[in-house]
């Protein structure tokens, strides 16, 4: 008798817990994979803004930029060298990846310099780009080194605004 009471209690607790975590269509928040989700977010902002000039909206340009971001993040190779207070990232890829690297590195360097307060110089090369960061202290060097190329590419909360500018047909660079 005691075992059946415990079993019944466990079943009730489990079913209550399951019903609390059951899928509810009215509470869905995920719009899909990250590129689709970024586009969906921008579309929602544009549609909510009565001042949106739909003649200039270019979601295809935003999609191309997001593809560049994905390509660089998933397919680029990075070699790093450090000398004194400078760290150099030699970012390379094949003939399909190199143009994305060039667009991303050259566009992000001024943003990184502004956000981090470091000197950032980048230059295009046939198979990608070189980014040289000169920092102000050993602590900054440790930070830049620890973050690596992909980490420093995220510095500065400009990406969302940058994506909105692209979608609105404005050049953010």
| pLDDT tens figures, 134-165 | 999 999 999 999 999 999 998 876 656 656 77
End-to-end CA separation in angstroms for the chain:
74
Q: Report the distance separating Cα 103 and Cα 129, nearest Å.
A: 9
Token reading at 111: 């943003």
Helix pair 34-48, 159-167: axis angle to 10 deg: 70
Q: Please check whether residue 124 is in contact with residue 102, taking contact to mean a CB–CB distance below 8 angstroms.
A: yes
Q: Report the distance separating Cα 92 and Cα 5, nearest Å.
A: 66
| pLDDT tens figures, 119-129 | 999 999 999 99
Residue 42: pLDDT band (50, 70, 90) is confident
Q: Report the distance separating Cα 70 and Cα 35, nearest Å.
A: 8
Residue-level length of the chain: 173
How much is the pLDDT for 18? 44
How much is the pLDDT for 161? 67
| pLDDT tens figures, 13-25 | 444 444 444 545 5
Contacts of 82 (CB under 8 A, 6+ apart): 88, 141, 145
């Amino acid at each position: 008798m005691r075992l059946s009471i415990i079993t019944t209690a466990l079943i009730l607790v489990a079913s209550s817990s399951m019903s609390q975590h059951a899928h509810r269509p009215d509470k869905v928040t995920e719009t899909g994979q990250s590129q689709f989700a970024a586009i969906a977010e921008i579309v929602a902002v544009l549609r909510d803004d009565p001042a949106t000039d739909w003649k200039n909206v270019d979601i295809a340009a935003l999609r191309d930029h997001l593809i560049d971001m994905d390509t660089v993040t998933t397919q680029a190779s990075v070699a790093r060298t450090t000398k004194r207070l400078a760290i150099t990232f030699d970012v390379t890829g094949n003939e399909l990846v190199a143009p994305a690297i060039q667009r991303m590195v050259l566009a992000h360097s001024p943003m990184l310099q502004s956000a981090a307060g470091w000197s950032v110089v980048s230059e295009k090369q046939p198979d990608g780009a070189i980014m040289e960061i000169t920092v102000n202290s050993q602590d900054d060097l440790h930070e830049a080194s620890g973050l690596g190329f992909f980490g420093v590419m995220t510095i500065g909360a400009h990406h969302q605004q940058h994506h909105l500018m692209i979608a609105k047909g404005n050049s953010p660079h």
